[in-house]
Structure 1
Amino acid sequence: MIPSMFRVAICSLAILCVAPIVAQAQPSPSTAKASSRPNIVWIMSEDNSKHYLKHFDETGVETPAIEALAAHGVTFDRAFSNAPVCSTARTTLITGCYGPRIGTQFHRKTEPATLPQGVEMFPAWLRQSGYYTTNSSKEDYNAKKRMQPWDDSSRKASWKNRPSADTPFFHVVTFADSHEGRLHFGVDALQKPTDFDQATVSLQPYFPDTQVFRHTAAFYRDRMSIIDEKVSGVIDQLSQAGELENTFVFYFGDHGGVLPRGKGYIYESGLHVPLVVRVPDNYRKLVDREIGSRTNGFVSFIDFAPTVLHLAGIRLDKAGPIDGKAFLGPRIESADVDSRETAFGYADRMDEKYDLVRSIRVGDWKLIRCFESFQPDAMWADYRYEMLAYQQWRARYHTGKLNDVQSQFFKPRPPELLFNLADDPDEVNNLAGDPAHGDRLTELRTKLTAHLKQTNDLGFLTEASMLKVLDAPVENGKRMSEEIASYINTVNIAVMPWDQASEALLSAINSGDMLQRYWALVAASSIAASNHSANRDMAADDTFVKLLRRRTLDTEPLVASRAAQLAAILRIEDPRPTFQRALKLSQSPTEALQIFNMVRHVNALAGNPYPMGSKLFQLPFNPDPKGLIQQHLDHLDQP
């Protein structure tokens, strides 16, 4: 029986997220008969950005099955995952919420978040309205289920098992043939031929032109050909069952990747995904688009849940407690979608590697804010460096065999990266320091900062602190909104002119608020790593140095460790005693994990005079022998 009324979540988002409120939703009278509603199928391929399909990029491989979907539907040339890695991206898809707003932005999760009131994993609403929902079979969510979203979520899950032929279905299938792990081959594999011609493969300018990279890039395009065959198989099943013209079929990548500098990074290679939607003949009237058309209107993963609900005939109010906006369905005008031009991205911890990066893209302009910019993109992560291409890239950097563009990945980043994607699609020419683009930088910085504050971005609590509010992350974020905004202001001292920043830094480093001290030290480290004159001034300023040394004795392990890290960047004090003390005092494995990230960063500094091995450190707990902390310890002992 279909309930007469239930709650669903959706909010209207134009450029910046608005304050969420709860919405009412119910099946409209015209959709009372289940058989009158379309089926919906999602086909996801893992870890691939749009750059490897010729339908989206001339350097990609031909994908006839995906191109056939597009010919009978709509191509979205500007579709984005909001996060560049599986669990965060998939949690965004299933909730329609920005991860940092609901506490689901870390990969792999330490603890799952509790969903906000009024928000469910959206297939649960489809189930309540009479849909049969199946998932084959990857979930990988960073939040706790409340209502059950799936009738079946397993390798055997299939829409064919629905209770009757009249039951509409929502089915998700994920193909792993393009997953990062497929590129974890040994040197012997380089002798095997690839279907895609390695001599004609296009390499991004930040890669060295070597056999390893050519083979890897060609082999990955071969994987996309396999994905295309799998897509064809799904379409054949729907056609043979007589359901193809009753079914909206979405094909998309579950985030970007997977060559180096893709997965895990919020460059376009990590966020810009392929998306086509096949429109069924029997529901053609639901879509205000020409069949076979393309749009440059921006859509992102927060928008997928409301789009499916809208296509399913679930009437939605104008605003609600999730963050997306439908891009297909009744009363969704193509002109409205075509005019959308803004997308936000986020990257936090990926496995054992911590980072805090946020982005905004408006049209062809993109700003990436690297809050821990003193760390290079190349910070070690065990799984990532199993790829030969990563290994060779790193080795060639350390032997001086890379040019300036190819070396960027291994050097500290500027706090702000501004790119004009129309001229620089590979994001290698940072315009943030160019006075000619000062107004554009200010505009995007203002919009991004407003978004972070309006969404009460929980990344600014640190993961260890965030775990304390995961019982009600959105409510706690609202309660702490002023504090979170103040932490954002403090870490943004890093983008101020140095003559204005120094006094603000001294005040914040001396604050009674632990996180104010923490973010002030992070800002100071970003300044010291990117501004040689500021680095020199800090190291020569007795008042600053005395305060910094006082902070290395801070009772808060994370604050003391950040102070030790800054002291190492400035080369004014051995950080090892502070790291040793902080780890002994660490209050949780999560806190210790972040401290080890700082240890690893210092250990990797060019000309590091403070070498560290695992025997230097004692912990107040036994780390998981197969866990992320142990990965840090093991790597400290490697040459």
Structure 2
Amino acid sequence: MSIDRRTLLTGMAGAGLAGGCATTGAGSRSDPRGRPNILWLVSEDNGPFIGAYGDRLAHTPHIDAMARGGLLYRKVYANAPVCAPSRFCLLTGIHPESNGPAHHMRADSTLPAFLKTYPQHLRAAGYYCTNNEKTDYNATVDPKAIWDESSATAHYRNRPANTPFMAVFNFETTHESRLFGVTEGRVKPQDVQVPPTLPDSDGVRRDIASYYNLMEKMDAQVGEKLAELAREGLADDTIVFYYSDNGGCLPWSKRHCREEGMRCALVVHVPEKWADYAPLAMGSEIAAPVSFIDFVPTLLSIAGVEQPKELPGTPFLGRQVARPKPLAFGMRNRMDERYDFVRTVSDGQYRYIRNYMPHRPMGQPVAFPLMLRSYQDVYRRHQAGELDAAQARFFEPRPFEELYDLNADPDQLHNLANAPGQRARVRDFARALDRHMLAINDNGFIPEGAPLEGYEASRVPGAYPLADIMELAAKAAAGDPAHVSALIAGLAATNEVLRYWAATGLVIRKAHAASARAALVDALKRETSPHVRIVLAEALSHVGETALALATFREALASGSEPVALQALNAITYVDPACRPLDAIGRWDKNPGYLGRATRYLLRTAAGAFDPAASLLGPRG
């Protein structure tokens, strides 16, 4: 390989935000040795709570041993801090936000006909591909159509003779839901260190201890699969990946575009026979950022399959290896029943975060994580006014931009976005993020369920003027009163998405948008998009138009569209109680999905009966 190994180890030190990503060492598409097997061992909802990453409390001997004899990637990032969008990226090799609604948590996106999943590429190249067993692809993909086997019994040993395999084994041991109970083990609640963002409570300590004990159980499962591979006599012919599918599941992590939610573990072992497929010798550590968007190109590089031009990632090992990219990008949109819009980028030392809905707090109430004792303790103490300033940020409006030095401030307590010495860095990160969003045609600005969603619909010339939308959305989210006139003008735009963000900007300003009252009323009279009408109603609720807001919310709740109803419930959560049509909301109380969860929170809050420990999950909870 012609890549400078010191570059890999230092993570593009000195390369800046515009570092290149050219490939080197292309090699032949055929190999006289044949093709290596590929084994993916995938855990859920965990950051690097692993001994090899320096965590002294972790007991993960099998992953640690794999790291000592393999490649340890220090800065590995999911493209979304939650499983479904993350796994869409891992399956397709494209960003979920390029193919709306795949960027939302639990959605049925449709792939364009030309886009193939990685098992389809590998099967066409002669690989036997198995998945055991989780899918969660956030798309209308039939697992039986893309895999040779996808089930609880799927296994590489079922392949035809002399056939290379690509096998995935998913371990749900560390999934968020496993913290609904208590997992006893070698780590006790008194042993753990509580981060300053969380209260030092029994529930928090018990969840952290259980998390470590679950990590130990998962590590044993990894060890079993490695031992099985050796017993089958396949270890010398198989490249093995261990990685986690998104960051951890404690408060401030999963679902959030912070280091705790985005950073994952990745250890890769390349046997001696295929040593030239690795960028460094086994036992090395790599500090350059690696993103999940690079995983499919890496698989194709290992298998000798030409990378399709529509895939934006670059391979980090295999027959072709790319120069390390200096930046890893991430996103958040709807998480379960709560809408949000965050974009982030990191070079491994700094993390830049852009909040397009800064008026919504990080700690929007989400039913599923509220099953954790740690979340319940955080919400209970918030209700009692017992959180300190660092902890209370979870429930407060956010700034449009955030910047954290992850080396000096690993808990991301000190926002440097407005620090005089960081202005150039903020500008460079912001420009890099803008370029990325334009390059991938980010669908995140489109309201869920609107006609423009999707890889192809959003690329029809003129249909989705993303540069103009991004400019207006930045003005909307920045909250500057000087932009009110531009937002009022945007209410009359011909494009639905522009009108949506103009209205959102007026929601963000709340009563400070009083000068837009007449414009909002006029806009509602002519507006035909149900998504825009909801945002207009929320804006009107803040400037004294209670009757109009109530009538519009009722209309949305009766629309028959679940995304529209859910967007209405989200808006109603944050308006004055006088603007809440509680009689119309009650129809969703028995709904087992996201509509029911949002409804139950609203009804209990309105009755003064919200108890963080009382499940919001409903009939299937």
Same fold, TM exceeding 0.5? yes
Within the candidate set 123, 128, 150, 1:127 is matched to 123
Give the Cα separation in 1 of the matches to 2:479 and 2:371.
40
Q: Count residues with an aligned counterpart.
A: 583
Farther-moved stretch of structure 1 (81-90 vs 278-287): 278-287
Report the equivalent of 1:485: 467
Call closer, same or farther: CA 1:624–1:140 in 2, change over 3 Å.
farther
Counterpart AA for 2:596:
Q
Q: Does 1:429 align with 2:417?
A: no
Give the Cα separation in 2 of the matches to 1:274 and 1:91.
18
- Conserved in 1, the CA contact under 8 Å of 2:337 and 2:366? yes
- Conserved in 1, the CA contact under 8 Å of 2:566 and 2:594? yes
Report the equivalent of 1:89: 86
Unaligned runs of 5+ in 1: 1-13, 19-24, 529-534, 603-607
TM-score w.r.t. length of structure 1: 0.85
Deviation at 1:550, TM superposition (A): 3.2
Q: Does 1:169 align with 2:158?
A: no
Paired residues for 1:465-476 under 5 Å: 465-466=450-451, 469-470=453-454, 473-474=455-456, 476=458
Give the Cα separation in 2 of the matches to 1:371 and 1:495.
5
Unaligned runs of 5+ in 2: 1-15, 21-25, 610-621
Within the candidate set 575, 579, 584, 1:616 is matched to 584
Call closer, same or farther: CA 1:497–1:353 in 2, change over 3 Å.
closer
Give the Cα separation in 1 of the matches to 2:500 and 2:350.
31
Report the equivalent of 2:599: 633
Give the Cα separation in 2 of the matches to 1:113 and 1:491.
26
Counterpart AA for 1:411:
E
Call closer, same or farther: CA 1:57–1:265 in 2, change over 3 Å.
farther
Report the equivalent of 1:8: none
Paired residues for 1:203-242 under 5 Å: 203-242=194-233
Give the Cα separation in 2 of the matches to 1:438 and 1:183.
41
Deviation at 1:253, TM superposition (A): 0.4
Report the equivalent of 1:149: 146
Report the equivalent of 1:588: 561
TM-score w.r.t. length of structure 2: 0.87
Report the equivalent of 2:23: none
Give the Cα separation in 2 of the matches to 1:402 and 1:158.
49
| Percent identity (aligned) | 30
Give the Cα separation in 1 of the matches to 2:405 and 2:364.
26
- Conserved in 2, the CA contact under 8 Å of 1:600 and 1:636? yes
Report the equivalent of 2:338: 353
Deviations, residues 293-343 of structure 1 (Å, cap 9, x unaligned): 1011111111111111111222x26x611121100123427xx23xx2201
Call closer, same or farther: CA 1:609–1:43 in 2, change over 3 Å.
same
Give the Cα separation in 1 of the matches to 2:291 and 2:486.
37
Give the Cα separation in 1 of the matches to 2:441 and 2:481.
30
Give the Cα separation in 2 of the matches to 1:421 and 1:45.
24
Counterpart AA for 1:409:
F
Within the candidate set 383, 392, 398, 1:398 is matched to 383
Counterpart AA for 1:444:
F
Counterpart AA for 1:80:
Y
Deviations, residues 9-37 of structure 1 (Å, cap 9, x unaligned): xxxxx97899xxxxxx9982435xxx721
Report the equivalent of 2:321: 332
Call closer, same or farther: CA 1:15–1:160 in 2, change over 3 Å.
farther
Give the Cα separation in 2 of the matches to 1:73 and 1:287.
10
Call closer, same or farther: CA 1:342–1:200 in 2, change over 3 Å.
same
Call closer, same or farther: CA 1:369–1:210 in 2, change over 3 Å.
same
- Conserved in 2, the CA contact under 8 Å of 1:77 and 1:274? yes
Deviations, residues 78-101 of structure 1 (Å, cap 9, x unaligned): 111101111111110011100111
SS in 2 for 1:637: helix
Farther-moved stretch of structure 1 (359-368 vs 299-308): 359-368
Call closer, same or farther: CA 1:624–1:526 in 2, change over 3 Å.
same
Report the equivalent of 2:175: 179
SS in 2 for 1:560: helix
Deviations, residues 234-278 of structure 1 (Å, cap 9, x unaligned): 010011111111111100001112111211111111110000001
Counterpart AA for 2:496:
M
Report the equivalent of 1:566: 539
- Conserved in 2, the CA contact under 8 Å of 1:456 and 1:481? no
Give the Cα separation in 1 of the matches to 2:585 and 2:320.
61
Give the Cα separation in 1 of the matches to 2:165 and 2:480.
58
Counterpart AA for 1:550:
D
Deviation at 1:569, TM superposition (A): 4.7
Counterpart AA for 1:139:
T
Deviations, residues 484-521 of structure 1 (Å, cap 9, x unaligned): 22222111103658364232122113434332221012
Call closer, same or farther: CA 1:137–1:380 in 2, change over 3 Å.
same
Farther-moved stretch of structure 1 (59-68 vs 395-404): 59-68
Deviation at 1:104, TM superposition (A): 4.7
Report the equivalent of 1:438: 423
Give the Cα separation in 1 of the matches to 2:134 and 2:230.
24
Q: Does 1:253 align with 2:244?
A: yes
Deviation at 1:424, TM superposition (A): 1.6
Within the candidate set 541, 554, 574, 1:601 is matched to 574
- Conserved in 2, the CA contact under 8 Å of 1:561 and 1:578? no
